[in-house]
């Protein structure tokens, strides 16, 4: 029996790897504080808690907001930051012809990719970490078939290092050779990009004559430019996936391990279903709250109710593996914002 196995971040978490975006945020803050604060300003992320007495800032991670769904969150820039980036030093009484004002443009996309690459290579994708996993996993190894095929949404090499699987298609790139440009990351908020373009079109007539309209056009264009640069190139990824699928034999079953099935990733899953519309699927779940969104995702993909089922995906030693990795690799962590709020009650 040959199965197609689709691998998401929950697969790495199952193996105890520190691959949640909480750990990415901690690494970002520890090693790239200036860039982290810039990102926090752009997206209205809480930087921590200020002391009412000393006014000192205690750093904390907003793991229930922006960082919980990091890629999706990239599609929602804070409008206050956009307005503040337009360096408007004109008096309110200014009545001359509209002028183009300076905008401080961050190289955000490259910064995020470089930090992501550095994080994975320095704290996750290391032989010594995979060795810890292999020593501690015991009875929780997943049994794959020798003829199985693999599509991974992860940048890591858990399949290669822990299961010695050679041919894995990393649909969003993989960490290797210090080539951060290979990593594909981004949001799928096309609706916001379209809304901004509509706003620009409506102001196009007034902008050459009125400074405030000109400013708004620049703000909307700036925001649209950033969102477009942070948009995941789904069409390119889909083309690569179609090419890869053409090389696969038809599987007997499709297993989905630890995938978020978010709006950006659904198109890929639909493509696979369209390729083999009669194949049955199995989706992993970690907790009861996963069941509802998996059901919704199955509907979006176009699966019939009798065509898919769930299987529980838990590893009782994953937290022990994670703790050992954090300790041995001396991974710096910060309290969550909720923990800081609790301390200040």
Q: Which residue has the higher pLDDT, 99 or 223?
A: 223
Does residue 201 fall inside a structural domain?
no
Token pair in block for residue 135: 């020593």
* Closest by CA position to 293, among listed 271, 265, 318, 319: 265
> Which of the four pLDDT bands, split at 50, 70 and 90, describes residue 318?
very high
Q: What is residue 181's DSSP assignment?
A: G
Q: Is 134 exposed, middle or buried (0-12, 13-18, 19+ CB in 10 A)?
A: middle
The per-residue pLDDT for range 103-145, each reduced to its tens digit, is 555 566 667 888 999 999 999 999 999 999 999 999 999 999 9
Strand 308-312 and strand 3-7: the pairing is unpaired
Asked if residue 226 is part of any domain, the answer here is no
Give the rounded distance of the alpha carbon of 244 from its chain centre.
23
Alpha-carbon 294 to chain mean position? 18
- Domain of 115 in residue numbering reads as 3-189+231-343
Query: Is 198 among the domain residues?
Result: no
State the CB neighbour count (10 A cutoff) for residue 59.
16
Per-residue model confidence (pLDDT) at position 312: 95
More confident position, 93 or 24: 24
Any domain includes 267: yes
Label residue 262 by pLDDT band (50, 70, 90). Answer: confident
Give domain status of residue 126, yes or no.
Answer: yes
DSSP letter at 103 equals B
Residues 6+ apart with CB under 8 A from 272: 4, 6, 151, 241, 245, 254
Q: How confident is the model at residue 280 (pLDDT cuts 50, 70, 90)?
A: very high
pLDDT digits (tens, 9 = 90+) for 145-184: 999 999 999 999 999 999 999 999 999 998 876 665 678 8
Q: How confident is the model over 328-338, as pLDDT tens digits?
A: 999 999 999 88
Give the Cβ contact number of residue 113 at 10 Å: 19
Within a domain: residue 209?
A: no
Average per-residue pLDDT in the chain?
A: 87
Is the model's pLDDT at 88 over the cut of 60?
no
Does some domain include residue 200? no
Q: Is residue 344 very low, low, confident or very high in pLDDT (cuts 50, 70, 90)?
A: low
What per-residue confidence (pLDDT) applies to 141?
96
132 vs 228, higher pLDDT: 132
If one counts the domains in the chain, the total is: 1
pLDDT tens, 203-223?
887 877 777 788 788 888 888
- The pLDDT, as a whole number, for residue 175 is 84
In-domain check, residue 207: no
State how far the Cα of 185 lies from the Cα of 58, in Å rounded to an integer: 29
Confirm if 87 and 101 have CB atoms less than 8 A apart: yes
Region 224-235: what's the mean pLDDT? 88
């Amino acid at each position: 029996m040959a199965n197609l196995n689709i691998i998401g971040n929950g697969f790495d978490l199952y193996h105890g790897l520190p691959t949640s975006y909480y750990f990415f945020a901690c690494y970002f803050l520890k090693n790239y504080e200036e860039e982290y604060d810039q990102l926090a300003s752009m997206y209205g992320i809480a930087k921590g808690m200020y002391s009412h007495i000393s006014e000192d800032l205690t750093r904390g991670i907003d793991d229930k907001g922006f960082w919980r769904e990091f890629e999706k969150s990239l599609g929602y820039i804070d409008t206050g930051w956009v307005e503040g980036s337009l360096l408007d030093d004109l008096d309110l009484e200014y009545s001359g012809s509209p002028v183009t004002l300076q905008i401080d443009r961050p190289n955000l996309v490259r910064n995020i990719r470089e930090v992501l690459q550095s994080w994975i290579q320095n704290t996750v994708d290391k032989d010594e970490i995979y060795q810890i996993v292999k020593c501690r996993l015991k009875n929780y190894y997943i049994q794959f078939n020798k003829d199985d095929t693999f599509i991974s949404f992860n940048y890591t090499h858990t399949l290669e290092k822990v299961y010695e699987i050679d041919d894995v298609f990393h649909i969003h790139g993989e960490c290797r050779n210090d080539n951060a440009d290979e990593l594909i990351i981004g949001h799928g908020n096309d609706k916001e990009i379209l809304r901004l373009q509509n706003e620009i079109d409506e102001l196009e007539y007034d902008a050459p004559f009125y400074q405030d309209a000109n400013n708004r056009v620049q703000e909307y264009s700036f925001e649209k430019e950033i969102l477009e640069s942070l948009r995941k190139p789904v069409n390119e990824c889909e083309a690569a996936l179609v090419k890869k699928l053409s090389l696969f034999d038809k599987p007997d079953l499709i297993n989905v391990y630890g995938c978020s099935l978010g709006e950006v990733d659904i198109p890929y899953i639909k493509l696979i279903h369209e390729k083999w519309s009669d194949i049955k699927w199995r989706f992993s779940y970690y907790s009861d709250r996963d069941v509802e969104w998996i059901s919704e995702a199955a509907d979006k993909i176009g699966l019939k109710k009798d065509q898919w089922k769930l299987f529980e995906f838990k590893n009782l030693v994953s937290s022990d593996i994670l703790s050992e990795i954090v300790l041995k690799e001396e991974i710096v962590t910060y309290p969550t914002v909720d923990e800081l709020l609790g301390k200040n009650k």
